[in-house]
Amino acid sequence: MDDIMVNLKTFQPDYGAGIHEPLMSLRCRAKGLTVTACAHAFFFCRLLQATRQKREGDSQGLKLGIIGGGHIGKQLARTMLHLGGMSGKSIQISTRRPETLGEFEALGVTCFYDNRKLVGWADAVFLCCLPSHLPHICAEIQDALTKCCIVYSLVTAIPLPRLKQLLSSNNILRPQYKFVESGLFQMWEASRTVVEALKDPAVIQATCPCNPNAEIVVNTKWMAAVFYAALNSYTWQRVTYMRALLFLNEACFPAKASTTSLDNRSELPELVCENFINQAFASTLQCNNTFPWFDLTAVQQRDSPFSQFLESTTSFQKVALLYRNLIAVLSTNTEDSMSAVSKKTSLSAVLLNPTKTLIHGLDGTFISKVEEGSSSDSEET
């Protein structure tokens, strides 16, 4: 049977997009938000990948779970596979319609419908579900989450305090975005795929967190939480705070780390202990201590030492540099670039005079042991 609407242009989905400026602007904003969210999730994964210690016989590295096989879930998976250098075996997707994900199964991604199984396997889980599905999913997976698993929510309608309540977890990341009026939204070019867009240096610059000229701005406290999440990963693996700082500097500023030696005391690392905890507590750390376990939800809701560092006028160039270091070199092998750690990085800024062993909270209080936060996940269709 012939399609009687085939020649009726007003019935076509894209009708008017090229002639009505408000509609075109809305489409560009939606595309820009998708590209930016995928870029920031990619940045988070690159940084978290740097925290994975190589173990004999362990070739998987970071294990990513995605709950939801809809538009956002698919774009995120494509970004990780095609730009992140991740193997399909390192990604699993849980969705109510796994039969629609043949594209990813062909690349080695395991696709199924079992949210509890997914969160028990993954190191980080992305929530890409519809807001209406989230309460049921949270109730389903709440007790299946491992303590070291980080939940990263791309469900825009559910605020962080509600997520914490639903998941009974403080190991959650949730970026918040706002639009700044600008005439540059055309740069997102809605016809390009997310992967194509993230190969464009101009797009990488536009998605840079803390960029004062960005049209789509992410909250600074999310950026701080990304780094505290990386430190939590080191703590979970019982990496001492000095080695954690060494690894983090190597991942973020490899050029400087590779040219800095322990004998060159004038060359200090970009990131030091006091960027993350206050000086009083830093002075109590002994060489074999780890960083404390940080409450990621608290980091995103109130000031922390690192959020204050990011908001200082001198830190923007550092932030832009580390973002480009982890995002821009898309053709390099992720595992090789992340796991190579220089042993010559200066640690003179964090060789502190130890007096006692205590764990420090973000509010300045002391507790007797590291409390391991739990995490959680959710699904999208």
C-alpha to C-alpha distance for 308 and 323, rounded to whole angstroms: 18
Question: Could you tell me whether strands 172-173 and 150-153 are parallel, antiparallel, or unpaired per DSSP bridges?
Answer: parallel
Instruction: Return the CATH number at 245.
Output: 3.40.50.720
> How many domains are contained in the chain?
1
C-alpha to C-alpha distance for 234 and 293, rounded to whole angstroms: 10
CA nearest to 358, candidates 346, 345, 369: 369
Q: In this predicted structure, what is the pLDDT of residue 378?
A: 40
Q: In this predicted structure, what is the pLDDT of residue 312?
A: 75
Radius of gyration of the chain (CA): 22
Residues of the chain with pLDDT under 50: 1, 13, 16-17, 19, 54-59, 259-266, 330-381
Residues with Cβ within 8 Å of residue 68, at least 6 apart in sequence: 93, 94, 95, 126, 127, 128, 129, 130, 378, 379, 380, 381
Residues with Cβ within 8 Å of residue 333, at least 6 apart in sequence: 85
Q: Does an H or E element contain 296, and which?
A: helix 296-299
- Span 126-167, pLDDT tens digits: 999 999 999 999 999 999 998 889 999 999 889 999 999 999
Q: In this predicted structure, what is the pLDDT of residue 146?
A: 87
Q: Which amino acid belongs to residue 16? A: G
Q: Which two tokens stand for residue 171?
A: 């190991």
Q: What are phi and psi of 194, to 5 degrees?
A: -65, -40
Q: Is residue 117 part of a domain?
A: yes
Q: In this predicted structure, what is the pLDDT of residue 351?
A: 27
With beta carbons less than 8 A apart as the criterion, state whether 358 and 366 touch.
Answer: yes
CA 187 to centroid of chain Cα atoms: 24
* 354 dihedral zone (left: phi>0; alpha: psi -120 to 50; beta): beta
Q: Is residue 378 part of a domain?
A: yes
What's the farthest any 2 CA atoms get from each other in the chain? 84
Show the domain range for 273: 11-381
Q: Is residue 2 part of a domain?
A: no
Q: Which amino acid belongs to residue 27? A: R
Q: Is residue 4 part of a domain?
A: no
Q: Is residue 6 part of a domain?
A: no
With beta carbons less than 8 A apart as the criterion, state whether 123 and 60 touch.
Answer: no
Q: Is residue 46 part of a domain?
A: yes
Question: Could you tell me whether strands 64-67 and 150-153 are parallel, antiparallel, or unpaired per DSSP bridges?
Answer: unpaired
Q: Is residue 3 part of a domain?
A: no
Q: Is residue 90 part of a domain?
A: yes
